[in-house]
Amino acid sequence: MSLTIAIAVAVAATAAWAGLYGLILLITRSSLPTPAPATMDLGPEPPAVVNLLANRWTRPDEDAAEATLLDLAGRRFYEIRQPGDDPVHSTIHLPGTPPSDAALLPFEQRMLGRIRAAAVGGVVPLTALTFRDAGQARGWRRRFDAEVVAHARRLGLSRRRISPAQVALLTTTALVPSLAIAFAVGQQIERHAAPEDKGGGYAAMVMLTIVLMSTFGLLSGRYRGDRSTPAGRAVAARWLGVRDWLDGHDAFADLPPAAVMVWDRYLGYGAAVHVAHAATAALDLGMGSRYLVWSSYGGHWRRVKVRYPRVLDRYGQTTKTLVKGGVIRLVIGAVLAGVARTLPNVVPTELGPLDSSYSGDDISTFTSPTRLIAAALATLFIVWGLYRIVRATVDHHTPVEITGEVLWIEVWRSASQGEDSPSIPWLHHYAVDDGTADRTVAWGLPSEWSGRSSPGDVVRFSVRRWSRRVVALTVVREGGGRSLHRGFDTTDNTDNLVLEALGERKRGAAPVAIRDQAATAVLSAEDLARAIGAPIKVREIGPLNGLYETMDGKPVAMIQMQRGTMAKMWWAAAKRGTPVPGIGDEAFMSETGGAIRKGDAVVILVLHRGGRVAAPHLPWLLGQVATRL
């Protein structure tokens, strides 16, 4: 067979497999059934599941969480009050004696836990429920949606879009394009490779076949959402009838969230089927504004305006850097002063002597524009340099201690490592409310401190006011927001369904928590690349180990993670070197790596010879691990 024919067969086989995949996606699409007659009778399904059905089983949208919030209010787990004319200013009030939440579903418990964690004195503004970290927001929403899908499957209302039989069919038929592509490569090797290179070429062809089969298999088993069941279509038709009944009330779309205290559960279901427009518009459970942040410091809620300094280069700098900059300015000033004395004496011809007692040279000394400009610049740089040195010295010896609530943390400045290398963040904006005013200016937090606190924590930290640099940090009290991004407990079969809905557990596999899926999930290749200053790739070695390599395959680091009883044995051997306070429960580092313990998890990072340039950045790397455990 000619090489051209082999390539044509490979292309045709791949196209045929892609066509089969597309056909399966086409026939597994779900559509909404014909609505049942309009009715006011509510069914037993929770609003979030109703939202999934109303969205054609693709996935719950943002109204699912908002509908759950309203439904819990309708069931009197808390009250929603509107003190003024604007629904956005509504507040949630928890009762003194909370009702039992034992019967709540996992996603309802997640929502109620979020509200209780944010409440201060039993009160939380609706807009204070927004997140202050993008990863935390995505993780919370992802788990919430997965728990909704899992419950819909338990009720028999939803099922995985691509069934196990269809996945098996796609995986099996993927053998055809894999072998066809490998055969075309083999033809190329047979025709053009030297005899001594053919053995290695055929070995590479076998590896290519395995890689192609794995790739096609991953595409086949990738989670593509859910689809309807006969029972689900019947339930969806009934809820579409409820939607039509609610939509028939002209004023329903304009009801604010506080109206749930009158309309009970109807408002939550209206939000689920997208007819409670005003109520959902007043709710925001996603990312909040970095410029106007809610603070509960001092025991009461208020909004704090945050300004983020960016222009002046002194912000966040060390004393050494500031003094060095002052010396450089003094040198520039001295050079300009010397230049001013050596400039030629040029006097405009039309300007005669002002006084017969002065010679032409004396007059030019005072009237030469170039000398005046150079002298002015020299004076400016000398004064500027002296001021910078004095202020930096005073700033260094007069730190101020502040206690307050962390409002926002984000990367401020990064150090470039070259055109082809990622930059390393060395400074973060650190906005803190100390309770003295409704405005604040963010401080400069060095990266080695960035993982030691989270928004919502109450911290005590030392700062240098002129440079606005944080030099010490202690967490006084962890904020309730930390619980929002921690993993959920693995209990009963519901969590197994959740993991399957997320596409992170194959059928028949043992139940494993999402956070236990892979050690490499707590430290990305990008993080290590920033610390090393070169592109890095990561390779998982089972769920407990990961290997970080350069792009040419040289190992630079290995990460290991363990939980439970085994982790205690690991920690006994790993806790050596220099303690690093404020990161996780305990952390240690040395020139060859570091280790961190947080809760029941232990993570060990070993730096190989090529990765030990990252040793100075170990506090930052361990901080990144701590935030993801």
Phi, psi dihedrals of residue 603, rounded to the nearest 5°: -125, 130
Q: Pick the residue with more confidence: 241 or 535? A: 241
Report whether pLDDT(364) > 80: no
Higher pLDDT, 445 or 519: 445
pLDDT above 60 for 95: yes
When pLDDT is averaged across residues 108-135 and rounded to a whole number, the result is 88
Query: To the nearest whole number, what is the mean pLDDT of the chain?
Result: 83
pLDDT in tens, 61-91: 889 999 999 999 999 999 999 988 889 889 9
Overall average pLDDT of the 494-511 stretch: 50
Whole-structure pTM value: 0.65
What letters, b where the CB count within 10 A reaches 16 and e where it falls short, cover 231-262? ebbebbbbbbbbbbbbbeeeebeebbbbbbee
Residues 485-499 have a mean pLDDT of 47
Lowest mean pLDDT among 209-218, 312-321, 505-514, 597-606: 505-514
CB 231, CB 156: distance < 8 Å: yes
Instruction: Report whether CATH 3.40.50 matches the domain 511-628.
Output: no
- Return the minimum-mean-pLDDT range out of 154-158, 307-311, 481-485, 577-581: 481-485
Average of pLDDT values for 305-332?
90
In CATH, the architecture of 398-479 is Beta Barrel (2.40)
CA distance 213 to 539: 18
Provide the percentage of residues in the chain whose pLDDT is more than 90: 35
Worst-scoring range by mean pLDDT, 142-156, 227-241, 359-373? Answer: 359-373
Q: What is the DSSP string of 530-555?
A: HHHTS-EEEEEETTTEEEEEETTS-E
Q: Helices 62-74 and 265-272, interaxial angle, to 10°?
A: 170
What is the model's pLDDT at position 513? 37
Which residue, chain included where needed, has tokens 């005590």?
Answer: 460
